[in-house]
Structure 1
Amino acid sequence: MAGFGGPSVPGPPAALWKRHIMRQLQQRDRTQKALFQELVPAYNHLLEKAELLATFSEKLRLEPSNVTSAADDEGSWEEESRPDSDQVPSPASLKVKWQEEEEGLRLVCGEIAYQVVEKSAALGTQQLLLEERQGRLAALEGRVAQLQEARAKQAQQVEEQRAQNVTKRAAYEVLRVRTGEQEAELRRLQEEASHLLQRLVQLKARAAAERNLRLERRQRASQAQVSQELKKAAKRTVSISEIPDFLGKAIREGTETLALAAEPGSLESKACERWKRPFSFKKRRGHSIGGVPEHRYQSIPVCVAAQLPSQALDVLDAHLSEVIAVRFGPNSNLLATGGADRLIHLWNVVGGRLEANQTLEGAGGSITSVDMDPSGSQVLAATYNQAAQLWKVGEAHSKETLSGHKDKVTAAKFKLTMHQAVTGSRDRTVKEWDLGRAYCSRTINALSYCNDVVCGDHIIISGHNDQKIRFWDSRGPCCTQVIPVQGRVTSLSLSNDQLHLLSCSRDDTLKVIDLRVSNVRQVFRADGFKCGSDWTKAVFSPDRRYALAGSWDGALYIWDVDTGRLESTLQGPHCAAVNAVAWSCSGSHVVSVDQGRKVVLWH
């Protein structure tokens, strides 16, 4: 075995613990030796001083006898030198002083030895603390290594995500460019279609004019032939019974021709009339162009004066989740509500309370809009499952599903013509439907998200996400007018006389548009009124005197349409944003629904 401080000699595995102990002892020896390197020289220096003092004391013990003999021989010298001898200390005083210094040195040595013991104890404590901190340092270094590894992984993921973002951004730019090209191509095709339609009209008009000329020539030829036959017949005498059939026909045609000739300008008026009406379209149910609808709903009695609501009569938690849509029937006693729970509830308004009538099931998604036809026998709802559905009052399950949109349907309204409806969707289209065959008779590309639609006699009005209201003639293919507003349009309401339009938008304003001059007549604002969502609905009163809307804080705001003044503010039952409101056709009740499942009946 090697010496205590020498190098270790490799041995069998069983002696590994011995070498470990030796290394630990060597480490402790080096550590303690380093700590005592300063104390040992000081202690040796003190010992050297003690030896010098001991030698000096021995010399002082021998010096008193020599000093006494010298005093006897040289007494006179002592007397002469006494002033100087007073300045040299005596041996006794030196001995006392040496003893005092020796005692002090002993005390110092004792104190130093005590300090050495204390330092040794403190050294052990510091050694334990050092070992503890070294252990913590090792643990922290391991933790730092783990965090650095995790940071490297996160940095790699960030780089990968950045690369994906760059790729997606490039793909988005490509799609945006492609969309721009497609929109430009669409506009070009629309312009080309418009030109082709104008050209077709011109060709039809030209063909009609040519046909009129050919008819006029044929009539003139027939007239000339009849004149010749009459001249021939006038030269001979025959009985009336012997007139041939062809001659009677010719006489009748000639008589008609002469009658037409007797009326100056009759042929020209006929030709002009045919020029003005070169061709006509056949009437079709659901999409008639240039003709009067065959069947229309009976007119609804007009409300003379609506009553301002002032108090809540009934409050119900009507649905399992948010209530989005509400609509009164034409008789003001039937109410329909639709919500995010995919259900439509029908309610009877009896004695100032809402009584459950029926639940319509089968909707494929959340209800976004509800409408009842003017007869009160059918319910039409727009849903999130890219379709609109039709129910018959009294039947629980859906009668028809109007599918064809590519995104959620946000609005569905009946037209005044029977068996026809209009829907608007987030896929930027407005569709007209023949409800008798559940067939889409027309698709209108609106170029923006459609949030709501309303229908007049021959007009469709749509409100869009690009802050515009568009007007479409149901008898023509193109948009007839665009009115810009400030803010995304959330709802539209058409007055019963179809002369005024009420719009609600996300700029927290309501606007009344006079359709006779296509101009904004009034803008309604109020402190505290905020449009709570993209489907917040506002309505006219039945007599068009008031405008009603719900705010994000659950309050209802009513404005006077003629003066623009805030007429009333209703607060209380609603604790969440009001999604939609409805005013009964009789003008006596108002119903509001909110995001907190509440349906409130006001009077």
Structure 2
Amino acid sequence: MSTEECVWREHVVQRLRERDRKECENFKEIIVQNNRLIDHVAQLKSDNLKLSVENEQLRNAVSTGGSGSNVAIATLEKKLLAQQEELTDLHKRKGENSQMIVDLNVKVEQQKKLLAEKERSFNEQQTVNNRLRAEVQLLNSSLEELKKLNTTLLDEHTALQLAFSSLEDKMRSVQDENRCLLERLMRYKSKDADKLNEENESIIRKRLPSIFRKRSAKLKRDLEDAVREPNSPNSQTVPAIPHSNSAAQFPIAGSDDDFDEASLNDAMDALKFNGEDFRNPAGDARCDDAARNSAQSIDTLKAAGYLGQPNPTKILMKFEAHENESHAVRWSPVERLVATGGADRKVKLWDIGKGGTEPRAVLSGSSAGINSVDFDSTGAYILGTSNDYGARVWSVMDCRLRQTLTGHSGKVMAAKYVQEPNKVVTGSHDRTLKIWDLRSIACIETKFAGSSCNDLCTTDSLGSTIISGHYDKKIRFWDIRTEKQADDVLMPAKITSLDLSKDCNYLICSVRDDTIKLLDLRKNQVISTFANEHFKVSCDFARASFNSGATKIACGSADGAIYIWNVNGFLETTLKGHSTAVNAVSWSPNSNALASVGKSKRCIIYSDS
């Protein structure tokens, strides 16, 4: 007999023994008791048989006669009756034990079924476990490959970063060299222009001395009339116009003898504006053009702001506004109070009138960074939006959180009062605008824009029209009275902010192509574009701002400077103070002050005095 057959037989025997053990173990006690009862019944039957034999003998004896036998018969009958009762009880117990055996058999069958289900489930789980182990091994191998790939990419990134740094240094050196060459070229051109002007003037003096004197006198009178115009804020003095080659002032008094040829040259030099030289070196036509356009040049200077309200040039206050990057800033409409919002999830109020660097109040309640802040027209409430998909209303008097508006599925970038103080409109990155009723703290209308909203404004105190700027380069107009959308205005790049003039006729729009567009809402078209070679929009939510008279536009740049343009298109000044990109600016509605915040956590207040 082979070894394999012996093993097989032993295995079968062992399984049979195991089966017997499992099937007999549960009924062993019952079987023993049943066997005892059977033995006991057999014994009682034999005793009963003996007693029957004795009973018959006794009956025979009684029939033959005997007085003492009656007592023995009675005794035996009692014993027989007791034995019959015991036999009946044993039969009853036997039936109970039989029923118990049946019940236990049923339970055994149920346990066998449950055991079969458990074994089947165990086999399935074993199969799943094996499959998961295979997947784990596969994922481990993939992880090792990804680690190797990540190491390779990191090395490549380091090499590219070094190459980029080298190229950036080269670019800076080339830019510096280019700047130097441009400055040299401009100096040479200025010298050539001065030389040509001198030659033309000498020719004019030699050929037409009388005409030259008459036109000089006429130019003087035109300049004096322009200075004395009643619309000018200073009708007696005209400030000097800065120029790289001249520091001359407009002559405003004196006789014909005082207004000599040198004074005329100084005035003509001062009329050089925005790269245009009114002394055109073209022979006799030069003097004609200068005399004819002198008054128009003064009007141009006035419109550019040089003869109007001065620009803020001095830093009035500088303080750390937030723990992290600052995103928003807004002046109160009724007092010298500035609200700022930042990535530290707080809105802070700063009392500029007192000049302190500690916040007047800290408004909390947001669970993410603040994106925008705005006051109502009375300055009693402040509205803030947040990255936690909500907007909140605080009261300025007691600095308490009044309402929390939740319902957007993306970060809320802007909010404005509509039909204040009852309604608020919010714009979000979830591509919707929502109008909220502050009395019931519920959204009463949702407008689907189809693109993420970066900023919005309302056209009047009733809020009949909402203007929103979006990521898809469109400005959208919404009339909440008719629930109709007006024609969109398409910009060349995505829109970062909107601001409306007080008369609601003009709208400025900062665009990601590093320009600011001025729109005439009566024509619904762009009428002017503001840009500069050094001006770069700092981020997707950079805020530009009108001043109170809607004559100047301010916007922060990525280089840390603030650029101020006149609405006629002239860059008036550039304010320094920030070391990093400027995120938002806000003009004071009651004074010629400007507030700004940026990535460096700092807030700076500029003033003209």
TM-score (norm 2): 0.49
Length-normalised TM-score, structure 1 = 0.49
* Structure whose CA Rg is larger: 1
